[in-house]
Structure 1
């Protein structure tokens, strides 16, 4: 194999990079690790410029966009490219202050936007494991309350703030103060979501049963009064549970159920949406139940659904494997 042709030399650019690194090390007193990161990114800049046949001091914004695209094509992600651009931008800003260039070619360059991370959702079996788990603590009151909260979070897709704001029944105060309420007779829960938007969500059989068990024990609240008396889910001191307290109770229940990942309320909302979409395929209905103002917010669950299908395909379909034995002829 023939040796690769040497890249065009840019001794002036190399000298300027060395001076800049000395500047950030001595005058700006940046940490050694930061200086090393700058050095690596500026070494890459020199390589890209040399491959293009451009001196560092002659680079234009079009060159920088081209080089950023090459980094992306080589497999670097958005955050990594943003780090490179930051190092390059600082170098060229210094060159401008030194009077070596007229404008910063990196000034308006932007890294590709990182893909929005998918929301974390439990698998169906994990959700059932959490819902069916009976905590070992010798307190039927707490167990009934926490089980009912899980059923509303997973069975209705409520936000934790919506759950904390629920009253036992409709009242003028609930409507006036922007709280939701339970309607067992209609098998519905009425909540006030984001932007003051009200919606009604049906209660499934498991949620109804859990709520009836809880409400049978609910009156036994020491010192309940004021708003705590109306709250569907009070704490043991009689005051309405806060979202933070619900987070703590849910995490404890997840640990007790033996789930590997820490469970939080929004994970159950994601699980509700993902599992419902897997079963029904009705994106508009899921949007309505979640209270999303835009269908775009709900469409993220189609990606979760596709991930679920892809995992099932990889695990079960004989054509999913990269290598498989052929039948003997």
Structure 2
């Protein structure tokens, strides 16, 4: 949604952004000088979340710590919403829900500075169309004269999976009904189509290393390192993850995101491969240090 004009409020090249849905777009991973990764990307943070297959003690702990989870979210929102309020860009859903659906992003450098100076102009509209002069935005009396338009509308991963097949039967079972998540065991293998692996449909807060771990898991499986459980057991596990996603992803439920439980999820992959899921050097580090790609560098399946 670009636009180029002459001098305009001191700017030479003006860019108009059409915003269809408000999201938490944050300038950095620090809130009030505190790294929010310490609130969401360690094992302690996952104690605040109800997990698939959790026992009674973990359930009780997550229930007791629910107010702390709410405080973490409000702490982040109190900081990130400051520039967003100025431009009427605060979403209706919470920061926590954005993390739960992997619908959060870091702004480009000086994004809010450009908004303040007017070199980036926001237009909030659900629809837009084209005309000879440029782009017509709903509610605007005149078109936006545009030299170039960039579509950043995303895609629907479930349709891509469906379109892999010519068989109507496989098309009907590949992604399931819209009221459920796409049924993938370990977010990789369809229980009823075990010859097909889908790596990358389910998102995390760091997709590259998550995809790499899945690829290692898949290679280990193909090499005979472990066997898949029964179809019934895989379906039961998928339903547990679906309950988790429904619980915390009310706004964008159809998306599949393991961002809130990326350590819990990686633990399962490690256990399947015979690797030690505990990647830190001490109990305190296991609880409170951030887990990231470098923790899985020397991941060697047995």
Q: Bigger radius of gyration, 1 or 2?
A: 1
More helix by share: 1
Q: Do both proteins adopt the same fold according to a TM-score greater than 0.5, normalized to the shorter chain?
A: no
Normalised TM-score (structure 1): 0.21
